[in-house]
Amino acid sequence: MGNLLSISILMGFVGAVNAADMPDAIPACLAKTGSEYAVSRKVDPAYLKADLDGDGKPDFAVLVTRGGAQGVVVCRGSAASPIVLGVLLQ
């Protein structure tokens, strides 16, 4: 989980998102969260691609907003549910 914290910190410092450049897996992943998360426009790109969970499949860490809150959704390459960090779940 230390890597996920580092990713979220790095993503907070970098500026706009182009939906055309975003992998199809990201909108599908955000839909799985069941909430109204929007991809943040603070960074470009708004995601990082890496094997974050060590399963050998690429994952995405996506900077998101919901209302005034900001956080990271980890979209795993496996069929596992997304991990939401830093934004309130309701």
Give 22-68 pLDDT, tens digit per residue: 899 999 999 998 778 899 988 889 999 999 999 999 999 999 998 88
Query: E strand or H helix at 73, and its extent?
Result: strand 69-75
- Exposure b/e, 67-84, CB count within 10 A at least 16 = b: eeebbbbbbbbeeeebbb
Classify burial at 56, counting beta carbons within 10 Å of its beta carbon; exposed 0-12, middle 13-18, buried 19 or more. Answer: exposed
Q: Rounded to whole angstroms, how far apart are CA atoms 16 and 2?
A: 26
pTM score of the predicted model: 0.73
Q: Are 61 and 8 in contact (CB under 8 A)?
A: yes
